[in-house]
């Protein structure tokens, strides 16, 4: 009898071991910051991950070294944009730990990288480190200023009607230089990727790439009526209103690719670290797009004639030109967090870390909304048809098309 009990116990032990082997925690886990680079010029990096499991679901969460707070668990994926902490600290080694979890347990992997650049344009929406000359300026800038952006040191302004791109020193609002285009290009928007400045040519159906000193690198054909652009860490993305497609240009190789028809009259475009959010002006919706294959991951109703789109780190903000409102959507699921009245024909938007700034074309004003809940925080009168806004870490800049001026608020 004792022998039979011993045999039964051995069998049970073997079965338990086999079950444990079958229910192993995630295997082959790894994380690489910027694919193994030893240094970087930005606190914003890409995490590349590998893992496998026989016990789904496989999930991941993230934490920065020295900060005991982890992100929420989310579905495993192989690439994620991430901000290192403490943001803005230079010449320092920073690291990330990724936890991988399946039905049976959790394992982790880590990597680090050295941050070396004196410029850090990618974190300016969250941090205020540039404090010189806070008094404001008004700069005369003929030629219909439209799009405006900050490259970490200087402001760039697209001058729509005279085919120029102006460069303005941010601390003292001095015009440093300007560069010209072929007549008929009509630059309407401008975006910096931290290394280059890219201008969108509305009539020229193209995008022009320049060094930060203004020297020309190249001009690349896109679709009909390109309007607004954004950078996702790899590509410059442009919505083309004339052919209803998205175009992307690889920031290093300059290869141009396009989606199929994505919606009616794509306008504003923003990147949330994982997905693109694109305003479809005549569909009255914003679409959430997967960058890898242009797949539509969600469609969310907003106001009438949505135009500009902004990501504040947690939410998507959309200006609705047709009904004089701004809509706030929660980025994680597109839930509507409110619609807020602003001025007439809102078409530009910016974020300073606490306040949403809205350029109202029709009423010559800039509205301020508290980002936390959309509470109005005042209105600033500006001259003549404000088109676009940008934040430089201390001041909000406004490009006023009708007044042919740029204001530093």
**Whole-prediction pTM value?**
0.70
CATH topology of domain 26-118: Immunoglobulin-like (2.60.40)
Structure confidence at residue 86 (pLDDT): 64
CB-based contacts of 41, cutoff 8 Å, min separation 6: 115, 116, 117, 119, 194, 195
Same fold, 26-118 and 123-408: no
In this predicted structure, what is the pLDDT of residue 67?
65
pLDDT of residue 316: 96
Whether the per-residue pLDDT at 110 is higher than 50: the answer is yes
18 confidence band (pLDDT: 50, 70, 90): very low
Q: What is the pLDDT of residues 27-69, one digit of tens each?
A: 999 999 998 888 887 778 899 999 999 999 999 999 888 766 6
pLDDT of residue 354: 86
Q: What is the pLDDT of residues 116-166, one digit of tens each?
A: 754 444 444 444 434 344 446 888 988 999 999 998 889 999 999 999 999
Distance CA 173, CA 191 (A): 19
Q: What superfamily in CATH does domain 123-408 come from?
A: YVTN repeat-like/Quinoprotein amine dehydrogenase (2.130.10.10)
Average pLDDT over residues 175-200: 88
Q: Which residue shows structure tokens 């936390």?
A: 372
Percent of the chain at pLDDT above 70? Answer: 87
Asked whether residue 376 carries a pLDDT value surpassing 60, the answer given is yes
Q: What's the pLDDT score for residue 5?
A: 38
pLDDT, position 45: 87
**CB-CB contact of 292 with 257 (8 Å):** no
pLDDT of residue 24: 63
- Judge whether residue 84 has pLDDT over 50: yes
Confidence of residue 91 (pLDDT cuts 50, 70, 90): low
Cis peptide before 57 (omega within 30 of 0): yes
pLDDT recorded at residue 103:
92
CB-based contact 258:245 (threshold 8 Å)? yes
Q: Where do the domains of the chain lie?
A: 26-118, 123-408
More confident residue, 88 or 361: 361
Alpha carbons 318 and 348: distance in angstroms, whole number: 9
> Using the 8-state DSSP alphabet, how is residue 17 labeled?
H
At residue 187 the predicted structure's pLDDT band, cuts being 50, 70 and 90, is: very high
Alpha-carbon distance of 329 to 307, in angstroms, equals: 15
Tell whether the model's pLDDT for residue 183 goes beyond 70. Answer: no
Pick the closest to residue 149 from 206, 195, 186, 198 (CA basis).
198
d(CA 186, CA 205): 9
Chain-centre distance for alpha carbon 15? 51
Distance, CA of 111 to CA of 98 (rounded, Å):
9
């Amino acid at each position: 009898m004792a022998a039979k009990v011993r045999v039964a116990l051995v069998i049970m032990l073997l079965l338990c071991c086999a079950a444990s082997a079958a229910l192993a925690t995630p295997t082959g886990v790894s994380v690489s910051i910027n694919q193994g680079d030893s240094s970087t010029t930005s606190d914003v990096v890409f995490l590349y991950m590998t893992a496998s499991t026989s016990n789904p679901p496989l999930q991941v969460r993230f934490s920065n070294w020295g900060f005991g707070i982890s992100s929420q668990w989310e579905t495993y994926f192989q690439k994620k944009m991430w901000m290192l902490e403490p943001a803005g600290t230079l010449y320092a080694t920073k690291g990330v730990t990724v936890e991988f979890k399946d039905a049976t347990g959790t394992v982790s992997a880590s990597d680090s990288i050295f941050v070396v650049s004196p410029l850090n344009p990618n974190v300016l929406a969250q941090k205020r480190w540039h404090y010189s000359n806070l008094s404001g300026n008004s700069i005369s800038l003929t030629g219909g200023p439209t799009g405006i952006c900050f490259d970490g040191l200087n402001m760039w302004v697209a001058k729509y009607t005279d085919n120029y791109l102006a460069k303005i020193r941010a601390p003292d609002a001095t015009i440093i230089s300007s560069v010209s285009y072929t007549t008929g290009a009509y630059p309407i928007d401008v975006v910096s990727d931290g290394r280059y400045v890219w201008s969108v040519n509305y009539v020229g159906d193209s995008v022009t790439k320049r060094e930060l000193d203004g020297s020309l690198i190249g001009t690349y054909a896109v679709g009909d009526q390109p309007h607004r652009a954004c950078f996702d860490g790899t590509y410059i993305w442009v919505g083309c209103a004339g052919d209803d497609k998205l175009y992307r240009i690889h920031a290093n190789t300059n290869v141009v690719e396009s989606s199929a028809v994505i919606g009616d009259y794509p306008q504003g475009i923003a990147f949330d670290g994982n997905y693109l959010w694109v305003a479809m002006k005549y569909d009255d919706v914003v679409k959430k797009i997967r960058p890898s294959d242009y797949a539509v991951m969600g469609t969310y109703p907003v106001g009438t004639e949505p135009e500009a789109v902004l990501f504040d780190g947690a939410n998507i903000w959309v200006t609705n030109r047709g009904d004089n409102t701004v809509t706030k959507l929660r980025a994680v699921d597109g839930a509507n967090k409110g619609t807020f009245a602003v001025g007439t024909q809102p078409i530009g938007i910016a974020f300073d870390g606490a306040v949403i700034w809205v350029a109202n074309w029709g009423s010559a004003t800039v509205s301020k909304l508290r980002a936390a809940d959309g509470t109005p925080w005042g209105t600033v009168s500006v001259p003549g048809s404000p088109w676009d806004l940008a934040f430089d870490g201390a001041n909000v800049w406004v490009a006023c098309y009708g007044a042919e001026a740029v204001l530093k608020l």
